[in-house]
Amino acid sequence: MALDDETGCDGATDEPQARFVGLLTAAHDRLLGYVLSLVGRRHDAEDVLQKASLVMWQKFHTFAPESDFLAWATTICFYEARNFLRLAARSPHCFDDALLAILAAERVEDLRRQPARFAALEDCLQELTAKDRDLLRAVYIDGEQIAALARSLERAPQTVYNRLNVLRRLLAECVSRRLATTP
């Protein structure tokens, strides 16, 4: 029996699996950031998200296709993070369930605004000089140490710190302005 691309080895359709993988892949980075904001450590957040992903797959049949996948997924991540914090007792933060629920709700709203903030930040970065963009890239993307960067620029480390502070403030103000004018 020949199987087409939409059937698996057992002849069952792979459409739900493909849809789930697509939705999870698209939301992965935002979900990881959400879980990280709840548990505090990247390694723990990755573990929690992995467990949550398994639960999501097990419960995917309950997901309504017309609903918001991110909202559904963050709910599952919230409960997995809460269980992790309760069982692991390794968190440097001892949040009670009410505070954790408040933080989780605020983070979900923050995730929804993230694409607009990133777009505004990209626009604002383009308004900076190439020299300032290179400085930001060196520190925040390439991870260069300030002292080494200051030596290569023949500047005092404090001068580099001061310039970074000015650039962060300019970018924050620019992003705020752009978001205020976006519906």
CATH class of the structural domain 13-113? mainly alpha
Ramachandran bin of 11, using left for φ above 0, alpha for ψ from -120 to 50, beta for the remaining angles = left
Is the overall model pTM greater than 0.75, yes or no?
no
pLDDT in tens, 164-182: 999 999 999 999 999 888 7
Characterize 107-135 residue by residue with b for buried, 16 or more Cβ atoms within 10 angstroms of its Cβ, and e for exposed.
bbeebeeeeeeeebbeebbeebeeebeeb
Alpha helices in the chain (DSSP H): 15-39, 42-59, 69-88, 97-127, 130-136, 146-153, 157-181
Spell out the domain ranges in the chain: 13-113, 128-183
Amino acid occupying residue 82:
R
The answer to whether the CB of 123 falls within 8 A of the CB of 178 is yes
| Residue appearing with tokens 């925040």 | 140
Q: Which CATH architecture has domain 128-183?
A: Orthogonal Bundle (1.10)
The string of pLDDT tens digits covering residues 20-77 is 999 999 999 999 989 988 888 889 999 999 999 999 999 999 998 888 998 899 999 9
